[in-house]
Amino acid sequence: MPAPPLTARGLHKRYGETTALDGFDLEVEAGAVHALLGPNGAGKSTAVGVFATLTRCDAGEVRVAGHDVRRDAVAVRAAIGLVGQGTALDEVLHGRENLVMFGRLHGMARQAARERADELLEAFGLADAADRKVSTYSGGMRRRLDIAAGLIRRPALLFLDEPTTGLDPRARNEVWQAVREIVAAGTTVLLTTQYLDEADQLADRVTVIDHGRVVAEGSPGGLKRRMGGDRVLVTAPLGVDVEALASSLGGVAEPGLRQVVVEAGPEGGAAAVTAVVRALDTEGVVVDDILLRRPTLDEVFLSLTGTGPTTEAGVPVPGASRPAELHPATEGGRS
């Protein structure tokens, strides 16, 4: 059996007074997207730096594709692709020239590096821009080229450190699409993100990190299940007694919102909606809206770390600390 792409045990790293990693463990399985989810300063980038041999940890052991990051750094570097925060590309060189240079530095012959570069430019939709300076690229194009550069030598493990931070929604979708294609082609990806919907969209497995420690781990679905089941939200029109409606539907009234919240049973949200519709039909009540509400990773995150999700600038999203039911942004958060 081949060595797992990455195992980390008991990582500790201090920067002066600040503890960046505090007994951090991680195991990444082959062929999957593993998301490292946490707020700013949680230790995500420090962890990636240690995994990619850029940062020495104070204690702990990391093996990447079976190689120890300290004793066998060169073998680790040959097995990984690193796409760091911000785009680490040569702005003056053309897109193709960047890829060829990184390929040649990986030991590829000139011709092989060119062929691989063209292949990646095509795959990432950059063929038309291949012979332009990177400084003329849009944010999304740069990020895709950055990811392509990380893939030049078909790494066993690709690190993507906050790949969509600072991108507009369209560019973010382009990057997500690129990540899905990478995984479909068989590369294991370790992704760090502070965006919950990003982990939800891309990851097979999520490790939630805060203050340098693992606070939760599991599949996105599993983490959400920890937060309880689905809910059906029924909005009653004016003139309907919300309390009475709540008792007939077996839910809880929110009179201020003219809303009834029905917790779904173990059979799930769809069954709960069916039951609510049947009950409404029997009662002969016409309602304004019926909404099936699944717990989002935002809620999981909030309950695990005590911090709300943050915007790109690191300031809390307005209203993020309000109850999730009152927060329409989490509802539309998936795009």
Partner 1 sequence: MTAVAATLRQSWIITLRDLKHWQREPWTPVFSVLFSVMLVLMFGYLLGGAITIPGGGDYLPYLLPGIFALSMMFGIEATMTAVANDTKKGVTDRFRALPISGAAVPLGRAGADLLNSAVELTVLLVGGVLIGWRATGGVGGTLLAVALLLWFRFAMLVIGVFLGLTIRGEGGVTAVQVLVWPAGFLSNAFVAPESMPAWLGLVAEWSPLSATAAACRQLFGNPTGASGGFVADNAVLLAVLWPAVLVAVFTPLTARAYRRLAR
Query: Which residues contribute to the site for partner 1 (CB under 8 A)?
Result: 15, 52-56, 74-75, 77-78, 80, 82, 84-93, 97, 101-102, 104-107, 133, 149
User: If phi over 0 gives left and psi between -120 and 50 gives alpha, with beta otherwise, what is residue 155?
Assistant: beta
Name the minimum Å distance from CB 280 to partner 1: 57
Considering beta carbons, is residue 146 or 200 the nearer one to partner 1?
Answer: 146
Name the minimum Å distance from CB 99 to partner 1: 12
User: Which residues of the chain form beta strands (DSSP E)?
Assistant: 6-15, 18-28, 33-37, 59-64, 67-68, 80-83, 157-161, 188-193, 205-210, 213-218, 231-235, 252-254, 259-263, 289-293
Name the minimum Å distance from CB 44 to partner 1: 15
Residues in the chain: 335
The two beta strands, 6-15 and 80-83, are unpaired
| Single-letter code of the amino acid located at 7 | T
Which two tokens mark 144?
């895709």
Closest by alpha carbon to 293, among 231, 251, 235, 236?
231
Considering beta carbons, is residue 104 or 213 the nearer one to partner 1?
Answer: 104
Name the minimum Å distance from CB 67 to partner 1: 11
Name the minimum Å distance from CB 151 to partner 1: 13
Considering beta carbons, is residue 69 or 209 the nearer one to partner 1?
Answer: 69
Considering beta carbons, is residue 104 or 293 the nearer one to partner 1?
Answer: 104
Considering beta carbons, is residue 53 or 201 the nearer one to partner 1?
Answer: 53
Residue 187 main-chain phi, psi, to 5 deg: -90, 140
